[in-house]
Structure 1
């Protein structure tokens, strides 16, 4: 449980950093940045998996594909969902739509929580129910304010939910399945890179960009790898609730990058930020209870040992 929580927090912080980091790529547009990100992520992700021992999943999934080639169509779907989300994550802040994308990440945890509750029959604690109620109020206000939700917002919330459900269904909810998703993205990434000859020329003419691209791949591998592992170690409800940290950081990054929250948007963001605070309280409470249980267990063991002696 603690490992999953730590991985989820690490992923959220890394994604927040990436919002700023992409600015180091200068004049690259969203497509070029996406292409370089995918190409540079795969080798670092492979090293990450070799270090963690998760690369065995790549081989086992490869064997499954050989035995059942029809699975490749499912992998093409999950790969498309992955490619689209990674592209949207970069395209948003580069095109003044960072807040709409970040709102999608605000909505995503709620969608994951509801999926966990109604699809996988997971239970919510009282504080988790309060957090969900606050999040529903914030999202509901956005519907009332606009009459609809931006396509970027819906794409993030629905797309990721669908992605995780498919991967659970075909039992590839591990880094091996994600590795294959990234591998299948490579042709699309190369197309985006070579579509603009200037991108390659810039990299050749400025070797420092190679280091920036390598850093992009390293951060992506850490963030995405940690996120996928967290989804595996945590129940869907807790995974969804912890995911609220990411949109808070992304919204903050969008504001720093020059975007702003309008007067009529505060009732969308404030309830969701309050939901995050409630979840922090829930997390502290959970850690306190676990610590007390551990201490009581140690005391009982010590008393038992004393009786035996």
Structure 2
């Protein structure tokens, strides 16, 4: 049990660290339109994961799992829902980053753990102790500070938060290994992505017709940078309660927030400072709760 918990923490931390620095990658690809970047994420992720399946000798198990999933209507619908949900999340994130809204995306992933915790309590019957509840309240105050001062619904932030929390919940309920899950999610969307690339090529606007070689290499590597943290996240989600997954997700938006402010010069006001302090105080309380419990 102890080794399983530790392994889940390592997997999840790795995923969130990689996701935290991901805006730099998409920002570098800003010369390519967001929807084409999204299409390439699916195409090359599908290729990359398939190579991993072959290299690890899991083709037979992948085919067996695939058969099991698609002969079970509930599992098949859950897999399709996961693919659609992550498509929306990825697409919105890429667009927001390249539109100069990295701070807004970080806000979304600050809100996301709260939504994950709510999903865990209501759908998976997970429980919070007093320390954890206090941590949640601190996080709510921090996020509420940011939302209140916007003066309007932060639709980018809310959409990212809800979609990724829903994705995490679906993944928690799917009875499938990490590799098979990611392969099927990308495989389900890849035909649409290829059709879009073909459409762009007919109009002479595909990046493969207009972009530099370095850009094309980065597009091809989108599979690696996309699938790798997703593999770690899926593995971690299988080993940890959703409430712990929720709080660990604060790592990624913190890194993204720093990148947005210090690398790309986005605004960081006193409101952000106060919210940031409340959120990290909540994390401190949550850490104490874990130490006391264990």
TM superposition score category, shorter chain reference: 0.7 to 0.9
Matched, 1:199 2:207: yes
Matched, 1:240 2:246: yes
Matched, 1:215 2:215: no
Q: Does structure 2 conserve the Cα–Cα contact (< 8 Å) formed by 1:48 and 1:222? A: no
Cα deviation, residue 52, structure 1: 6.5
Runs of 5+ unmatched residues, structure 1:
291-309
Partner of residue 83, structure 1: 87
Which residue of 266, 275, 280 maps to 2:273? 266
Structure 1 residues 105, 52: closer, same or farther in 2, change over 3 A?
Answer: farther
Q: Does structure 2 conserve the Cα–Cα contact (< 8 Å) formed by 1:22 and 1:216? A: no
Matched, 1:132 2:123: no
Which residue of 151, 154, 161 maps to 1:157? 161
Cα deviation, residue 282, structure 1: 5.5
Q: Does structure 2 conserve the Cα–Cα contact (< 8 Å) formed by 1:143 and 1:149? A: yes
Which moved further from structure 2: 260-269 or 226-235? 260-269
Give the TM-score of the pair, scaled to structure 2.
0.84
Q: Does structure 2 conserve the Cα–Cα contact (< 8 Å) formed by 1:128 and 1:279? A: yes
Partner of residue 264, structure 2: 257
Determine the C-alpha separation between the residues in 2 that align with 1:49 and 1:128: 39
Give the TM-score of the pair, scaled to structure 1.
0.80
Structure 1 residues 241, 208: closer, same or farther in 2, change over 3 A?
Answer: same
Q: Does structure 1 conserve the Cα–Cα contact (< 8 Å) formed by 2:20 and 2:252? A: yes
1:111-150 equivalences under 5 Å are 111-150=115-154
Q: SS where residue 247 of structure 1 aligns? A: helix
Determine the C-alpha separation between the residues in 1 that align with 2:19 and 2:59: 23
Which moved further from structure 2: 52-61 or 250-259? 52-61
Superposed CA RMSD: 2.8
Runs of 5+ unmatched residues, structure 2:
none
Which residue of 110, 116, 131 maps to 2:114? 110
Cα deviation, residue 3, structure 1: 1.0
Structure 1 residues 252, 56: closer, same or farther in 2, change over 3 A?
Answer: farther
Q: Note the alpha carbon deviations across 1:80-120, whole angstroms, 9 max, x for none.
A: 11111111221111012222221111111111122223332
